[in-house]
Structure 1
């Protein structure tokens, strides 16, 4: 049974900073921050879940069935992640590429302590509360002193898993598959990494978030593994009987010059290649949603709309559906995962080709972090623009990708990857 308390804060931004710093004492943390982005489908400004009361950690085998059993047995809020490699649970697929991070394929936990922030109000939900625990925690949060960012003593040297010439060769392999009719589009990703290095996860997240201010920023800590994400993309959300998915396909850089910046946004909106990428994924998402939707309820609410973020302009579409009665929330995830924006079309063929051509196991990159409410509603993001860290192995990684279509130019695809990688590289190299 959860104890619910509403708490008023005079300075929401300061409270958010103190709350996140206070949370670092726990082994399990999920922090989700909208950065005051006002989206049509957003409920909270920020959410913090800490301290596992129960949890589930598993590999891909039977993962969605195990998650269904766990969600049903808790009938509570649960937070966690789905890695890209859960694809192997859904289709006859494998993941044999190099993995320097070692995240389990799926992890969710039932938090003892949960904070839901909206405006100047905080809804606090504690599980099995002890005496004056909540009041004590609030006092500790208020007393928390913000500290200056820590810098790594040694510079972090970023390495490329795939070098430029090899990248061109691999894109040309993708184009060969497209020309042979195996696929129409595939998201091809490459890893940047550093070994034997130590970073301060919270400070790294703060810097990355300040550069990008995305609507789905995420800080995740599960024991010795960390995610610091500045993702702008929602994977899927369920509220009542309505489900929405908001794939991103199409990226352009920003400019400090207003007129040039507007020109870049217009060019993205009019770019035939970028629009075709986006529309192909919209069709894929429509098909995925149709598996659990009432007949005729799948709709495209926005098509190829350009949104501007601090680092980039992005082309986003919104697809919605009404869920057939009796469909479980897990079934909605299973029939849409992995998200179309990170795979390609046709989806299964694209995933097979991706596995053969990429050098790194994706793991949590291009997976998802999110939560389920007790009533089965949920909200999940897409893990892109993210830094991943295994503190025990001292291994840091970030990956970026782009959609390869028949009209792709390998050099332009490479340059798009560098634009997407810019914020992560700046943060890690100070």
Structure 2
């Protein structure tokens, strides 16, 4: 059935932030996704807004075919439902492992236009226009790293002992920063973070008192028709302060045998995961070791595509591929056991996946990294950063890489 489309111009540059504040007042669940016009292989997130009243049940999430959109998160610890694994580390606060809603209201944005399936009446526009943005939003939060550089170094050595013993080839070890607050404004935090670090998989997600503020550079999986796309990131270097240094850093990353080895291991792992649900011989690496610029870093990205077997469900795709190899390491199951032993926190939504499933079954999901996770009811937030530890990894350099990944978030939380 074809829907009518209503197109409206937006002249106020703060209109989307006002829309989010309007939704926060009227809805328990909403999400805003923004691709920030990135030239990303297979395209970034579409720029969309969704709002809904209630959380979907497990049956509603996983049952197919579906006649409605679904927007939400699968937390990292959902791995325990897929494999014989557990998560015993302490959580900063309780989060649902899987949290989706069906939007009752949605908009898409093209440049300075908003497109709606329903006619937006004058009252709606007046409500949005009357919202006043805070002059001094509360985005400051004193945060503390969970481990010291010395503890980090000891953990890298422990992983390298596992590598020598043949238990893992590469482990994505993550550390967390945590903070508490009296007042904290997640909507302002999102727009500040997106200004500092506009990413291809930027997202703001509200589920009652819990929020995701995401500046993710990485796609987990995208499905278009029968085509499945995975785009693992492994390989990071900072941007240069001059044009010459920038070019030099890009070449350094592109030519790094260590970064290529890390990327190749995860690319192979993702090829294997996709092969479980794809037609025989259809899994192809369309780009290996692509170097892409972001505001603060260059990233090494590989793209794997395949043709899905007929009638493959979303649940079957997740069973085959979750969690994403870039956030675990290889081999996947044993390495997840190792990082569980060595990490100090329950990952929760961090290093899970956020995205949208369309009515026709197509979907696009990011990796939840470079993201703040907050609960306004318990007045706590946290974020995680990680890097791939291999046999020849240097603990000091890996710690510096984690600090680089944390930089934009720390700037937002310091109020700078």
* TM-score, normalised by the number of residues in structure 2: 0.94
- Structure 2 distance, partners of 1:4, 1:84, is 38
Tell me by how many angstroms 1:140 deviates. 3.0
Aligned ranges 1:228-239 → 2 under 5 Å:
228-239=213-224
Gap change, CA 1:252 and 1:149, over 3 Å in 2 = farther
Task: Count how many residue pairs are aligned between Structure 1 and Structure 2.
Answer: 414
CA-to-aligned-CA distance 1:78-134 (integer Å, 9 cap, x gap): 1011000010011000011110131100011111101122234433245xxxxx765
Gap change, CA 1:43 and 1:354, over 3 Å in 2 = closer
Tell me by how many angstroms 1:6 deviates. 2.4
Report the RMSD for the aligned CA atoms in angstroms. 2.1
Pick from 57, 60, 67 the counterpart of residue 61 of structure 2.
Answer: 67
Q: Which moved more, 1:378-387 or 1:323-332?
A: 323-332
| Contact 2:70–2:100 (Cα < 8 Å) also in 1 | yes
**Corresponding residue SS for 2:354:** strand
Gap change, CA 1:173 and 1:51, over 3 Å in 2 = same
Q: Quick check: 1:326 aligned with 2:311?
A: yes
Q: Which residue is 1:41 aligned to? A: 42
Q: Quick check: 1:216 aligned with 2:179?
A: no
Tell me by how many angstroms 1:326 deviates. 1.5
Q: Which residue is 1:183 aligned to? A: 168
Structure 1's consecutive aligned runs of 4 or more residues displaced over 6 angstroms after TM superposition are none
Q: Which moved more, 1:167-176 or 1:23-32?
A: 23-32
Q: Quick check: 1:78 aligned with 2:97?
A: no
| Contact 1:196–1:393 (Cα < 8 Å) also in 2 | no
Q: Quick check: 1:382 aligned with 2:367?
A: yes
Q: Which residue is 2:24 aligned to? A: 24
Pick from 87, 91, 95 the counterpart of residue 103 of structure 1.
Answer: 95
**Corresponding residue SS for 2:364:** strand
Q: Which residue is 1:312 aligned to? A: 297
Pick from 287, 291, 296 the counterpart of residue 302 of structure 1.
Answer: 287
Pick from 181, 185, 190 the counterpart of residue 205 of structure 1.
Answer: 190
**Corresponding residue SS for 1:371:** strand
**Gap regions ≥5 residues in structure 2:** none
| Contact 2:223–2:363 (Cα < 8 Å) also in 1 | yes
Aligned ranges 1:131-142 → 2 under 5 Å:
134=121, 136-142=123-129
Tell me by how many angstroms 1:265 deviates. 1.0
Tell me by how many angstroms 1:195 deviates. 2.6
**Corresponding residue SS for 2:289:** strand
Gap change, CA 1:125 and 1:7, over 3 Å in 2 = same
**Gap regions ≥5 residues in structure 1:** 58-62, 127-131
Tell me by how many angstroms 1:160 deviates. 1.7
Pick from 371, 393, 396 the counterpart of residue 408 of structure 1.
Answer: 393
- Structure 2 distance, partners of 1:385, 1:67, is 26
- Structure 1 distance, partners of 2:13, 2:232, is 29
**Corresponding residue SS for 2:216:** coil
Q: Which residue is 1:6 aligned to? A: 6
Q: Which residue is 1:355 aligned to? A: 340
Q: Which moved more, 1:110-119 or 1:139-148?
A: 139-148
- Structure 2 distance, partners of 1:146, 1:393, is 24
Q: Quick check: 1:257 aligned with 2:242?
A: yes
| Contact 1:278–1:317 (Cα < 8 Å) also in 2 | yes
| Contact 1:156–1:197 (Cα < 8 Å) also in 2 | no
Gap change, CA 1:134 and 1:246, over 3 Å in 2 = farther
Q: Which residue is 2:85 aligned to? A: 93
Gap change, CA 1:134 and 1:299, over 3 Å in 2 = farther
Tell me by how many angstroms 1:334 deviates. 1.9
Q: Which moved more, 1:166-175 or 1:327-336?
A: 327-336
Q: Which residue is 1:116 aligned to? A: 108
**Corresponding residue SS for 1:99:** coil
| Contact 2:170–2:262 (Cα < 8 Å) also in 1 | yes
Tell me by how many angstroms 1:409 deviates. 0.8
Tell me by how many angstroms 1:4 deviates. 4.1
Q: Which residue is 1:129 aligned to? A: none
Q: Which moved more, 1:140-149 or 1:398-407?
A: 140-149
Gap change, CA 1:243 and 1:12, over 3 Å in 2 = farther
- Structure 2 distance, partners of 1:391, 1:399, is 18
Gap change, CA 1:305 and 1:23, over 3 Å in 2 = same
Q: Which residue is 1:51 aligned to? A: 52
Gap change, CA 1:66 and 1:354, over 3 Å in 2 = farther
